[in-house]
Chain A
Amino acid sequence: MSRPDPIRKSSPDTQKKPLSTEEQLKQSAFQEEALVHINALYNYALHLTMNPDDAHDLVQETYLKAYRFFGSFEKGTNCKAWLFKILKNNYINRYRKNVREPGKVDYDLIKDFYHTIKDTRRDNTETETDYFHSLLHEEVYMAMQSLPEEFREVIQLCDIEGFTYEEIANMVESPIGTVRSRLYRGRKLLRGQLEEYAKKFGFNTEKDR
């Protein structure tokens, strides 16, 4: 005799008490404001953990916590930034001690990881012939992964997730000036990496130096 799966509470008849009006309001506000960011959160979790199962758990935990503390979310502020901050804290508490040390990048692991979960979609705007446009998704990804975490993190939050410096500063718990300078230095490093890839393909990047 098996016990019902606790997650499937919504099956008919077995029924738990109906939610209070207050709870229902919270629920619908939560769905409207928070659930729409699930793809961004998962994407970020995946880049942090480099493991789909861990990313799954991290996002699930983030939503559980977010729901519990949804009352403390300030309406009108950026819910995505709030969720990212929760996810980041969860990640630090749970996974951080297992991640690679700065400067120790396992390229084979990254490559395997990338190939395992790679989405095959490609953009079709690759008609330009300059070296930037000749770069493949994988190369840009590898270049990003080769950066020290403190740089990669701010670039990801700024360029991929579109957060403001103030939001990023809050997430990484550093002053705005630090975010600004990490972005500057990180991008400089990244460009160096990208140019290395470009050179391998025979693009001359020296003219721009």
Chain B
Amino acid sequence: MKCNKARELMSAAVDGELTSRENQTLTLHLKECSLCREEFEEAKKTKQIIQEKIVRFKAPQSLVNSIMELSLSGCKEPSDPPMID
């Protein structure tokens, strides 16, 4: 397998989305190619950095409360002014 193809597979490998055959092919290639091994580590790191560094915003309490109330009332729509497109 060429390095280009291996690099494409790496992205899906990081997500655990390779077929077992693809996985085997990639593993074989990584054994032989040190550049791709480094690249694979970088690919894992990229995913990790997104997961760690992207701030996740929590829903404001007012929204949580309003959804709770809506669900408790059987989700009858509030008659707040509807948003107009």
| Cβ–Cβ < 8 Å partners of A60 in chain B | 63, 66-67, 70
Residue of A nearest to B48 (CB): A132
B15 adjacent to A38 (CB under 8 Å): no
Is B55's CB under 8 angstroms from A94's CB? no
Which residue of the partner chain, among A16, A125, A187, contacts B46 with CB atoms under 8 Å? Answer: A187
B32, CB-defined interface residue at 8 Å: no
Q: Report if B23 contacts A (CB, 8 A).
A: no
Q: Which of A71-79, A104-112, A156-164 contacts B (4 or more CB under 8 A)?
A: A156-164
A29 to B49, CA, bound (A): 35
Kindly state whether residue A178 has any CB partner on chain B within 8 Å. no
Which of B38, B58, B64, B75 interacts with A208 by CB under 8 Å?
Answer: B38
- Pick from B45, B76, B83: contact of A132, CB under 8 Å: B45
Bound Cα distance from A201 to B85, whole angstroms: 45
Chain A residue at minimum C-beta to C-beta distance from B56: A43
Which of chain B's residues has its CB closest to A68's CB? B75
Within the complex, which residue of A121, A137, A187 is in contact with B54, where a contact is CB–CB below 8 Å? A137
Enumerate chain A residues within 8 angstroms of B48, measured Cβ to Cβ. Answer: 132
Give B22-66 as 1s and 0s: 1 = Cβ < 8 Å from A's Cβ atoms. 000000000000000010001101111111111111111011101
Complex Cα distance A184/B14, Å? 10
Are B74 and A23 in touch, CB under 8 angstroms? yes
Report whether A35 and B50 are in contact in the complex, using a CB–CB cutoff of 8 Å.
Answer: no
Number of residues on chain B facing chain A (CB within 8 A): 45
* Structural contact, B72 and A38, CB atoms closer than 8 A: no
Report if A172 contacts B (CB, 8 A).
no
Interface residue? B12 (CB, 8 A): yes
- The chain A residue with its CB closest to the CB of B18 is A180
Q: Which of these, A40, A56, A194, contacts B63 with CB under 8 Å?
A: A56
> Is A51 part of the contact surface with B, judged by Cβ < 8 Å?
no
Q: Which residue of chain A has its CB nearest to the CB of B8? A: A184
Scan A33-72; emit 1 where CB is below 8 A from any B CB, else 0. Answer: 0010011111100100000100011011001100110000
- Once the chains bind, are B55 and A119 in contact (CB under 8 Å)? yes
Cβ–Cβ < 8 Å partners of A10 in chain B: 69, 72-73
Minimum CB–CB distance from B49 to chain A (whole Å) comes to: 5
Give A160-190 as 1s and 0s: 1 = Cβ < 8 Å from B's Cβ atoms.
1000110000000000000011011001001
Contact of B58 among A42, A63, A160, A194 (CB under 8 A): A42
Give A residues with C-beta under 8 Å from B.
Answer: 6-10, 16, 19, 23, 27, 30-31, 35, 38-43, 46, 52, 56-57, 59-60, 63-64, 67-68, 94, 117-119, 121, 123, 125, 132-133, 135-137, 139-141, 144, 155, 158-160, 164-165, 180-181, 183-184, 187, 190-191, 194, 208
9 intermolecular pairs with C-beta atoms under 8 Å apart: A27-B71, A35-B71, A63-B67, A67-B74, A68-B75, A125-B52, A137-B54, A180-B12, A183-B12
